[in-house]
């Protein structure tokens, strides 16, 4: 059986030269750098922002579905439509709560659902303090990123009575 690692960097370089791996890697790395550098120019700025929004949404939803709540909180702080995302997290976690059988896990789902619900309430309350008309528009605007739903629809579906009451 062959060794997994080399004794020194010199032996590794000799092995690479013997099999022609050094030249291939150098050429391949130069090609990759050129491709990566040119990809930024291919995507218009507007589309790049939309793509980033979808990526953040997907990462946020993945972290909620995998129960990585701390990671979800970080993603949420960097998202464009935080209120709707927090309400979706509330809906998912409440659904998990209804399915879960273990007491500790079940309690953590409800605790996290309450956290995201309170986050959405705090966001909309702050918006309302700044401009109440704008806050109403935020609640009623259709968000394409989440399938053209409004925050009010998501809150209603999640049975977030506290959010609806604000």
The Cα–Cα gap between 158 and 24 comes to: 55
Residue-wise pLDDT for 9-67, tens only, equals 787 777 777 766 665 555 555 555 455 555 555 667 778 888 898 999 999 999 999 99
131 in helix, strand or coil?
coil
Residue-wise pLDDT for 81-128, tens only, equals 999 999 999 999 999 999 988 888 899 999 999 999 999 999 999 999
Contact in structure between 74 and 115 (CB atoms under 8 Å): no
Q: What is the pLDDT of residue 1?
A: 42
Residues linked to residue 143 through DSSP beta bridges, in sequence order:
149
């Amino acid at each position: 059986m062959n060794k997994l690692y080399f004794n020194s960097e010199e032996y590794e370089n000799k092995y690479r030269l013997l099999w022609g791996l050094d030249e291939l890697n150098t050429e391949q790395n130069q090609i990759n750098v050129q491709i990566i550098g040119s990809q930024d120019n291919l995507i218009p700025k507007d589309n790049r922002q939309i793509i980033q929004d979808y990526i953040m949404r997907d990462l946020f939803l993945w972290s909620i579905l995998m129960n990585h709540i701390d990671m979800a909180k970080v993603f949420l702080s960097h998202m464009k439509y935080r209120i709707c995302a927090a309400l979706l997290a509330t809906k998912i976690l409440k659904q998990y709560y209804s399915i879960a059988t273990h007491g500790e896990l079940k309690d953590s789902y409800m605790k996290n659902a309450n956290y995201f619900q309170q986050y959405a309430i705090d966001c909309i309350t702050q918006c309302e303090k700044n401009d109440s008309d704008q806050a109403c528009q935020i609640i009623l605007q259709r968000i394409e990123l989440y399938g053209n739903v409004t925050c009010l629809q998501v809150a209603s579906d999640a049975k977030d009575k506290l959010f609806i009451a604000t």
